[in-house]
Amino acid sequence: MSISLLRKVPLVKLSSRRFPIYKQKLFCTMSEEINSQEVVNSTKRILTTQTAESTTPRVKKIKLKKYKSKKVDPTAPLGVLQLEIDELLKAHNLTRENVTNDLKSILNDKTFEIKDKYHREVSNVKILKLTSNGDGLAVIDNPVETEKKQVVIVPFGLPDDIVNIKVFKTHPHYVESDLLDVLKKSPMRRDDLIKDKYFGKSSGDQFEFLTYADQLEIKRNTVANAYKFFAPRLVANKVIPEVGTTIPSPLEYNYRTKITPHFDMPKRLKQLEIKPPLGFGQKGRPKWRKETLEVGGAGPILDIDECKLATDILNIGLTNERKRFDQEFKKYKKGATILLRENTIILDENKPVEEQLGEGSTDSDGKVSYITIDDKEHGVKLAKTCVTNTRQIVTEYVDGYTFEFSAGEFFQNNNSILPIITKYVRENLQIPNSKIDEPNYLVDAYCGSGLFSLCSSKGVSKVTGVEISADSVSFAERNSKNNGVENCKFIVGKAEKLFECIDTPNDRTSVILDPPRKGCDEVFMKQLAEYYPARIVYISCNVHSQARDLEYFLNDTEKGKDYKIESLRGFDFFPQTHHVESVAVLSRV
């Protein structure tokens, strides 16, 4: 049977879920004929196809894991490492391609077969050089792509050591390892010098097995290498002076005036029942010091009851706070850091010492712990206490000056070397060939609580200090008043806008730069060049950013070309570690 259609009959598709053409309509005109059975059969086919497709399971597309590289500041340790790797590769006729690791295979290895090949023990590895971070660098065979090599970081390895290692982490162009055994010692290695039972495990120090003379020379090389990496044009033009010998710290141990032991709360744990380790981080899982394998435990945080780098009063405070932690650890709901900061009191000999101590770490009897010291040079007696309250105001005593600041805020951590560096800065700020009656001015950018401003104030007519932190400026003004210094003015503001408020003549003004680790930005360096001071002393806790900044200042600012670097050298604020402070002195030609 057929049906003559007298009008357009829309046949609309029955489902919109599986068919993309569901909005289209099928039309028959008056002149067309369509068999009704065919319509029924066609509808059945559509329904059957749809049902079959809807019951077919979807095949999930497997998403492969990809390595996500993080943006790194070139002057930060990981950024510097890349340059050190390039230098190592060049010395051994290798390229980046020769040492590229197959991260994609490792990340997507479900069976651990590939990971186990990469993360393995390797014997008889020769350490080739030291990084600026104090770790050894070596080259080993790639275990999977046998035509390739791998660059490996070996903490506590020294150049010419022959060692056994365990590779445990892979990066695109290097791997990390633990030191297992020292088979043949480097001529530099002096394990008999080690005093700290945690050395070789703790991440806090790297150089205890070196003579102090070797430590100072390594740090001199760190300064020189920083300029080679980040000031290549200055090096090529031979305008970098020979790096001076590193100025040693009067104290090689027991110098740190601040430490921060901490502990972690295990995940998904709401209540601590077992006391966790309280101390500092462990550097991997090294096993080379067989006699101390059990010391401090095997977790990521070592349980530390003594810090050889900290001052005596901080170790007394550490003992006090560990005893307190033994009793109170169950009260904590999450991990925490305990501040231990040295505080100095100039004693009035007419009053009992205990009445002058103030708040501090207490012993088991509830009494504030302290030690006393005689400063014969300035004829005063000092008391040292340990402060744990981050908001408490503490005092540091430097070369006869007192500096107050909040315990949790930044202040240099080695007070034994501060009189040496402040004197060095003060002497190098003086403008040569000055007449007796000519005024000298000082601008202290990043002045903090006034350390360099106050210690340099005697040799100048006026000091202007600038600091972004209003609290720091408040303390700088307070310290100026407490020390009877009347020629210092402090301003709250960004260093980048510093020279908008400076009214001293540039020909008679010296500038101190003491920025944070990231260094100065280009805007500031341009303004510094435009101000055109007579002398510049740049103090840096990151010599790599210092080198970058001076490369830009001397080469890429219009008036920067009129300056020369008179001297460049390191100061050892942190013996037994890789850290070095760098001081560069610039003058107009």
Burial of 33 (0-12, 13-18, 19+ CB in 10 A): exposed
Q: Structure tokens of 379? A: 């004829």
Query: What does the alpha-carbon distance between residue 214 and residue 97 come to, in Å, rounded to a whole number?
Result: 35
pLDDT at 14: 35
Identify which of 584, 578, 583 has the alpha carbon closest to the alpha carbon of residue 216: 578
Half-sphere exposure of 507 (CA within 13 A, CB side): 3
Task: Give pairs for 34-37: CB < 8 Å, separation 24+.
Answer: 34/2, 34/3, 34/5, 35/1, 35/2, 36/1, 36/2, 36/3, 37/1
Q: How many CB atoms lie within 10 A of CB 268?
A: 5
Closest CA to 550 of 531, 530, 565: 565
Between CA 539 and CA 418 the distance in angstroms is 13
Alpha helices in 291-444 (DSSP H): 312-328, 418-429
Domains of the chain, by residue range, sit at 77-202, 206-251+414-589
Three-class SS state of 497: helix
**In the CATH scheme, what is the homologous superfamily, with its name and number, of domain 77-202?**
Nucleic acid-binding proteins (2.40.50.140)
Query: Given its phi and psi angles, is residue 284 left (phi above 0), alpha (psi -120 to 50 degrees) or beta?
Result: left
Rounded distance between C-alpha atoms, residue 191 and residue 197, angstroms: 12
Give the pTM.
0.87
CA 363 to chain CA centroid, nearest Å: 34
Q: CA 225, CA 526: separation in Å to the nearest integer?
A: 25
Q: In sequence order, what are the beta bridge partners of 535? A: 510, 587
- C-alpha angle 383/476/568, rounded to 5°? 90
Record the tokens describing residue 264, joined without a space: 């972690």
Query: What's the Cα-to-Cα distance from 203 to each of 200, 380, 404, 546, 564, rounded to whole Å?
Result: 8, 37, 30, 25, 38
Could you tell me the CATH superfamily of domain 206-251+414-589? Vaccinia Virus protein VP39 (3.40.50.150)
Contact 179, 157 (CB under 8 A): yes
Domains 77-202 and 206-251+414-589 alike in fold: no
Closest CA to 334 of 275, 266, 280, 281: 266
> What is the β-pairing status of strands 441-445 and 509-513?
parallel
Is-contact 166 120, C-beta < 8 A? Answer: yes
Token pair 């095949």 is found at 59
pLDDT score at 49: 56
H-type helices in 395-502, by residue range? 418-429, 451-455, 470-482
- Write down the number of H helices and E strands in the chain: 12, 28
Q: Is 256 exposed, middle or buried (0-12, 13-18, 19+ CB in 10 A)?
A: buried
Q: Give the pLDDT of the chain (589 residues) as one tens digit per residue.
A: 444 433 444 444 333 333 343 344 333 343 344 455 554 565 556 555 555 555 556 666 778 888 888 889 999 999 999 999 999 999 999 999 999 999 999 999 888 898 999 999 999 999 999 999 999 999 999 999 999 999 999 999 999 999 999 999 999 999 999 999 999 999 999 999 999 999 999 999 999 999 999 999 999 999 999 999 999 999 999 999 999 999 999 999 999 999 999 999 888 777 888 999 999 999 999 999 999 999 999 999 999 999 999 999 999 999 999 999 999 999 998 999 999 999 999 999 999 999 999 999 999 999 999 999 999 888 899 999 999 999 999 999 998 899 999 999 989 999 999 999 999 999 999 999 888 889 999 999 999 999 999 999 998 999 999 998 899 999 999 999 999 999 999 999 876 677 877 889 999 999 999 999 999 999 999 999 999 999 999 999 999 999 999 999 999 999 999 999 999 999 999 999 999 999 999 999 8
State the DSSP H helix or E strand holding residue 20, giving kind and residue range, or none if neither: none
Per the structure block, which two tokens stand in for 545? 């950013």
Edge to edge, what strands does the sheet with 162-170 contain? 121-126, 162-170, 175-184, 149-154, 136-141, 129-130
**In the prediction, which pLDDT does 13 show?**
37
Please count the other Cβ atoms lying within 10 Å of the Cβ belonging to residue 164: 18
Tell the residue number behind the tokens 């090389």, with chain if given: 221
**CA 455, chain centre distance (Å):** 28
User: The sheet that has 535-540: what strands, in order across it?
Assistant: 244-247, 563-571, 581-588, 535-540, 509-513, 441-445, 462-467, 488-492
Cβ–Cβ < 8 Å for 443, 500: no
Taking Cα atoms as reference points, which of 387, 386, 374, 380 lies closest to residue 401? 380
Which of 185, 128, 157 is CA-nearest to residue 286? Answer: 157
CB distance 453 to 510 below 8 Å: no
Looking only at the bridges linking them, the beta strands covering 380-387 and 340-346 are antiparallel
Torsion over CA of 543, 545, 546 and 551, rounded to 10 degrees? Answer: 130
With 0-12 / 13-18 / 19 or more C-beta atoms within 10 angstroms meaning exposed / middle / buried, residue 102 is middle
Which positions are catalytic? 541, 581
Phi and psi, residue 153, nearest 5°: -90, 130
Question: What six digits make up the tokens of 292?
Answer: 């101390």
